[in-house]
Each structure stands twice: as structure tokens, then as C-alpha cells.
Chain A
Amino acid sequence: MNAVLRSIWCAVAALVSLAALAGEPYPSTYRAQSSAPTLIRGATVLTGTGQRLEAADVLLVEGRVAAVGHDLTAPPGARVIDAQGRWVTPGLIDIHSHVGVAPTPGVEGNDDGNEMTNPATPNVWIEHSIWPQDPAFETALEGGVTTLQILPGSANLIGGRSVVLKNVPAITYQAMKFPGAPYGLKMACGENPKRNYGEQHQSPATRMGSLAGFRQAFIEAQDYRRQLDKAAKDPKSGPVKRDLKLETLAGVLKGDIRVHVHCYRADDMATMLDLADEFGFHIAAFHHGVEAYKIADQLGAKGVCAALWADWWGFKMEAFDGIQENLAFVDHARNGCAIVHSDSAQGIQRLNQEAAKAMARGVSMGFAIPPERAIRWLTSNPARALGLGDRIGSLEVGKMADAVIWSRDPFSVYALADQVFIDGVLLFDRQHPAAQPRSDFKVGQGTP
């Protein structure tokens, strides 16, 4: 498909998804600012599709990637950036973040990430907890993160809906909400829910209790979905009584809401795959998956991504078998989909370094993981797991113009993001501190 057709197609797709949004509650109010065309020249470009181009140019026009190649011509009025010796990647995506909901400073008044009152709370939407002034948004941007999924915590079996944000400075979360991004559902297996509720002498107190809880919830969702289907076919039957919990779970069964499961142990993940088969839904990604390396082939075969840390391990029993080659094993498996996630306001600032560590471990094990492959763990793979693979995650013509110019190879500890673009807008520029986003919280504190 040529560039023009492609961008027309994208524009149509965008209109369609906006139209689909009409009438949805809590709609996104995000609109990209207009921006001058930008030509980034002479960089080492990791496209996010597995390609590496040397001394290449990237052209961003009207919020889209307009061209990637050699000897591109700057359109009139374009900002031209000499990136010789520097590297360009797609904007990074953190698929697992609690920025804004378990924010800094860690004070009770802003602690809104875990509705620990019932093991199944699919009725809660994490977006209603987001504090857009969390300074960790801007430090993540400084680390090249342009898109992030905010998830509820893992205290509950079913924690609630996630939301995908554009990492733009804003006063409301609606102004950050990624237009047309599918919702996610956060679920958690293993130790956290059973510890949390078991200590209160409630179910789940065990892993078997957890599974009973999941199954009961989805049995009710199946019944609710049948009622909805019946009402749709027979207008005379009257509307089905709304139920916030079951609306979300029915959305999962219909495939509209993507499932993200916090799960560490290989056997726990296998049980969750069976749960998904029992009720006919697909798991988009396991998160944390410290033992994903033990079932890497099974995850690949099922088309399930694994969002992982480079080296976190040991702090609880289900993390005891962590190894530094986890990401490399998942990546190596047939159809493997490895993702580096942070789950941390610190880690999100250095996703590139976390990937670098995991890449180096894979290489020393004998796996071929060049930078152009490893960058997928931070870009196209999380985009795929979020259901946004057609819009972000790679520098392909027509994709959203989310890009990072790195001072050098981003898989070096010494690399810094020099410039970060979201939808073509230069939102972070290391050379111009005064123009960098700064949360209201940081204002007037007598510190930089």
C-alpha cells in the first residue's frame, strides 16, 4: 500500500473509531495539537518491525509517520533535526503502570489503585482514580514513554477496567485517554488475592478458591450475555437491568475488552489459559510472568504475550524461580511475544535499560537478539497486546507519529532520550528544560 492510500485508510479508520465512541461514557477529549512537519535526518532507525536502518530519515507530518527512508525531502516549513550519530525508535509503550493511581508522593489521600473491598470488582474503572498531576508521568516521558496502560492493582481476583493513556500533560485524564483504545480487564492469580482475602477469613484463601471465584463470575457473565443477546433479538422483552460488573465481564466474553492477567507461576498461567478456554475468551497478556520461560512455547502457541521484568525475582514464593533470561526465552519461542513492562514509577523511566539487560542475557545464552529485535519488546509487542498494533508501536507510514530520538544506542546505560514526540508534537526536549512538562504538584516547591 502506498503512503497516500495508507494515510487515507488510517484517517478513515480514525473516523470510524471516533464514531464508535459516540455515546460512550467518560469519552476521551484528547486531540493532538497541530505541529509543523518534522524531518529527523541521518539517524540509526529501529523501526519497531524488526528493521534497522542506518543513516536514515524519519518524516512526521500532521501527527503521522509520513515516510521512513533515505534522502527524504523536508516539506516547506518543516523542522529539520540533525540526528547523525543518534538513534530513533518508536515511542515506548509501558503496558503495566500504576502512575497516577499509586502516585508519588505516596500519600493516603492519593492512594487509589486497589479497590480491596471485594475479590471481584469488574465494576471499577481505573481511569476514575487517575491523578493527572503525578510527577511520574513527566519522568516517564523523559524516558521515552509515549503510551501507557494504567491498571488496577492485584489485590482482587478481578481488579477492574484498565485504561490506555497518551503520555501528554493534562488537567484531566480524559484529555490523556487514548481515543478508541480498547479497554482492558485486570485479573490476578496466585498469592496476592488469596493473601489479601485469606487474612480476612474470606474467599479466596487458596488458589482453588481463586479459581472458583473466577468461574462463578464468568458463569454469571455468560448468563448476563445471554439476556443481552435475547433482548437484542426481541425488542418486546424490554431492556436488561444494567449491572456494572456484568457489563465488563460480558465485554470480555464478546472480545471487546482485552484480558490482562497478573500471574507469576507457570502452572498458574496454564490454569488461567484453561479458564479462558472454558469461557471462550482470549488472554491478551500475562503480566509479571516470572516463570514464563517454563511455558514459553505454550504461550507462543496460544498467541498470548508475556509482559515481564528484566530481573525482578524472589520477593515472594511465586517469584522465587525468576531468571534474567526470562524475556529472551519468551522471545525465542515460536510466535513468542515478549514485552518489557515496569510496574514501577522508577522502571518506567528506563524501559530501554531493562530491555538491554534482558537482551544481553539472551545473547550470552546464544540467542540472536539484535537491537532491532529487542526494541519490539517496548514498542510493537505491547502495541499488539493492547489491541493498538494498527496505530502505534512502529515507525511505519500512517502510524501515529510517536517517536524518540536517543542520544546514542538506547540499549546503553549512557543513552538518554533527547527528544520525544507524541502525534508529531515535540513534548520533551532535553535542550529546553523550560519547555518540558511540569506537574502542578512540582510548582512552587522551591525545587527544579
Chain B
Amino acid sequence: MTRLPGWMLLSILAAAGSSADAQQVLIRDAKVYTESAQGTLEHADVLVRDGKIAAVGKGLSPPAEGSVIEGNNRPLTPGLFGGISALGLGEVVAESSTWDAQLNLDAAGGPKWRPDFDVTLAFNPRSVLVPVTRIEGVTWAVLSPFSKNSMVSGQGAAVTLDGRFDAAMEGSRSLFISLGGDSKSRTGGSRAAQYMLLQQAFHEVRAPRSPNEGALLNAEGREALAPYVAGGRIVFEVERASDIHQLLLFVRRHDLNAVISGGSEAWLVADELARARIPVILNPLDNLPDSFDSLGARLDNAVLLHRAGVRVAFSAGDDYNARNIRQLAGNAVAHGLPWEVALAAITTVPADIFGVGAQHGRIETGQVADLVLWIGDPLEITTQAEQVWIAGRPLSMRSRQTELRDRYLQRATLQQ
């Protein structure tokens, strides 16, 4: 067993790269936010073996083979959720040749509703956005598709950001459907038509129509939609309170498994949401009436939902700055959300919502070791991640941005 100061060990591990993954690691004397029944443990240890958390507690024995990291009671949290976005689905959004998050079937024949469009197939773990994001403590994110032609955007899933090609996390596959004003142009100009069209599509799963009967779906589309009609997770992007209310009626009628994304007016129907046990993924910074769908946007939306018993997770829908998820949580605290609830909104709650909570989002024996050691309060904007592990492997804390920084720092130093 080797025993080294944390910083020295970390640089060795970073240099060792992937060969370190068979090792055991003991992170000793950290302030461990377990997000589990154990709560927050001061001066606690976390033992990582084979990529999983093997033990959490005080005074754990160092592994016979492996390394020890001294935490000095700095915060250790589960790896953070990066929100719902197109992270890794492209490089430069203004350069369409580099961007794969959006389906445009304007020029294509046949039905325009393609629930079989699975955007995760375009995920590139080698995108420069991935290291930029993960070195800030974000270890996983949800990819969402967009369709120019249909309110049914397609399918997405959660992905781990450690660089593996097969990054989709088991059990996280979801269908994305866009409701309300944002989607009117794709549904004949009226939001009322959205339920009419959804009703038809759901009906087509059981009773197919031919194209000349105005079918929305082809055979592949029906096959893709069927599991969602039968209870698979559907993320509804919706803002206006009356739309959320109509959605809840629709969800109950069809016995759907729904998640709300957006929800800037969700506080107005908080009790309904609580009764229906439907969680809301929102941006706690949304406080402006960006459209007539969000006239009721307010900074304490998350607080009001939480008080009503609604599970709340955070997302800004940001690709390039998915790393700013902590800033959302910190601001939610500033506006009245309990600190622990805000941390849960970027760890356990989204993990549970997307069906990966048994493996990710907590520091608990048996969970995948996605961990972040912070230099201070993880929700504070001046805090940075000192070391990030995904599946027990310490990540290189480098990105294209740190390379550019160091190149110009060297020049600035030479000139002086």
C-alpha cells in the first residue's frame, strides 16, 4: 500500500490513466454527502473496489493493494447530473455539419412522426464538450432529441461521461414529447390539436392506419412508441399551468409514466402534481415571462413545488455550460430551497427519475463509484472540483480549455 498526499497521488493516477481502474482506492477523511439514509458523514471514508463503492464509514482499513486519498474533510459528493441537453451530440451548434441533435424530415417522404429516432446513437464521447463538462464534477447527463416536424421529438437516455462509446445508462431510455406554445408550429397551429394527435398516435399503436388514411406512424414508429404507451418513461416538455393540468388528465386517462421538463408555471398546479406523483425537472433561474406560456415564472418555483411534496430536479438545458448545474442549485438555496434538497436535485432525484438511482446518484455500498472531491462547498460558484472519479476511475482533470489556458499562461509568463 502506498500513502501519498492527495495532490501527488492524484497526479500519478491521472498519468496512469485507464490502467488504474483495477486498483482499490480509499478516500479517507472526507465530508461524505451520501445522499442515502446515512446522511452526511464528517471525517468519513469511502472504499472503492472494482469501480463500485465497497464501503462507507469511519476508520475503514486501507486496501492491501491500492491507494489512499486524504480528503482533509473536504466535501465528497456523488457525481453530478448535467441536466437534459445535447451534450456530446455535436461540437459547434452553428455549424450544422457538426450537430446531430435535431431531426429535420422536411425533405423526406413518409410519416414525420418518428419515435424511433434515437438520438443516443449520435453521442460522441470524444466530443470536446465532454471533458470540459466532466472535470467540473458532472459525471452523467441526459441526451434529448429534437424534431423539427413532430411534437414527438424522439428518444433519448442518460449517458455516463467517462469516455466509453457505449455510454447509455441502462434503464434510462425515455421518449420526449413537446407540448404547448413551443410545439404549436408542429401541430397545425393549436395546442388543442396536440392531444388529438397524441390520441391518434396512441391509437395507431393498437390499430395501424395506412398512409392514405393519414397515418402519423409507420411500422417502426408504432413499434418504438408501444413500450411508452405501456408505461415507459415519457418526458413532457411543457411550461404553462393549464397545459400541465391537461397533460395530467391525459396521463391519468392513458396510465402513462410521465416526467415534466420545463414547468415554469408548475407551482400553480403543485398539489395536482404531488397527487399524481409526477416529478418536475426545472431551471430554478427561470423567472422571466420568456413567452406567454411562462407568465408565472418565478425564482421560488422549486421551493413551492418541494413544499407541496413534488420531487424536483434541475436542468438548464445547456450543452456548453452543463457544468453550471451547481450554480442553479446554489441560487435555488439563495431563494429558499434547503441546501440538501438542492444537492439532491442534481444527484439522487434525477437519478431516480431516469431509472438509474439504484446504481448512481448516491454514495452507498454497491453503487457505481461516480464521485467528486471538492475544494469547498460544492454549491458555491467559487468552488472547483479537485478530483472526479467515474466508475472508480480517476479522470484526467484536463480538457481542451485547460490546454488552451496553459498554452497562453506560459506565453503571458514568458513576456513578463
Contacts and interface: CB of A to CB of B under 8 A. Distances in A.
Contacts of A360: 381-384
Interface stretch (B57-65, B72-80, B246-254, B285-293): B285-293
Contacts of B200: none
Contacts of A139: 287-288
B331 A413 contact: yes
Contacts of A353: 327, 331, 381
A294 B128 CA distance: 20
A346 interface: yes
A139 B289 CA distance: 11
Interface string B65-94: 000000000000000000000000001111
A413 B329 CA distance: 9
B382 A356 contact: yes
A236 B379 CA distance: 71
Interface stretch (A16-24, A165-173, A253-261, A321-329): A321-329
A412 B376 CA distance: 12
B296 A357 contact: no
A129 interface: no
Contacts of B128: 314
A441 interface: yes
Interface in B358-380: 379-380
B290 A105 contact: yes
Contacts of A322: 401
Interface string A325-369: 100010011000000000001100110010011011000110000
Interface residues of A, number: 52
A247 interface: no
Contacts, number: 120
A316 B382 contact: no
Nearest to B287: A139
B414 to A, nearest CB: 11
B381 A356 contact: yes
Contacts of B408: 293-294, 329
B93 A104 contact: no
Interface string B332-357: 01100000000000000000000000
A311 interface: yes
A415 interface: yes
B298 interface: yes
A414 B285 contact: no
A447 B296 contact: yes
A409 B409 CA distance: 29
Interface string B276-290: 000000000101111
A415 B288 contact: no
B382 A357 contact: yes
Contacts of A65: none
Given A311-B324, A312-B320, A317-B95, A413 B379 contact: yes
Contacts of A423: none
A101 to B, nearest CB: 15
B92 A346 contact: no
Contacts of B94: 191, 195, 315-317
Interface of A: 104-107, 135-136, 139, 191, 195, 293-294, 296-297, 311-317, 320-325, 329, 332-333, 345-346, 349-350, 353, 356-357, 359-360, 364-365, 411-416, 441-442, 445-448
Interface of B: 91-95, 128-129, 285, 287-292, 294-296, 298, 319-321, 323-324, 327, 330-331, 333-334, 379-384, 401-402, 404-405, 408-409, 412, 415
Report the 4 A-B pairs with minimum CB-CB distance, sorted nearest first: A413-B330, A316-B94, A360-B382, A447-B296
24 contacts: A105-B292, A105-B294, A105-B295, A136-B288, A139-B287, A293-B408, A296-B412, A311-B323, A312-B321, A314-B128, A321-B404, A346-B288, A353-B381, A357-B381, A360-B381, A360-B384, A411-B381, A411-B382, A412-B381, A413-B380, A414-B330, A414-B333, A445-B289, A447-B298
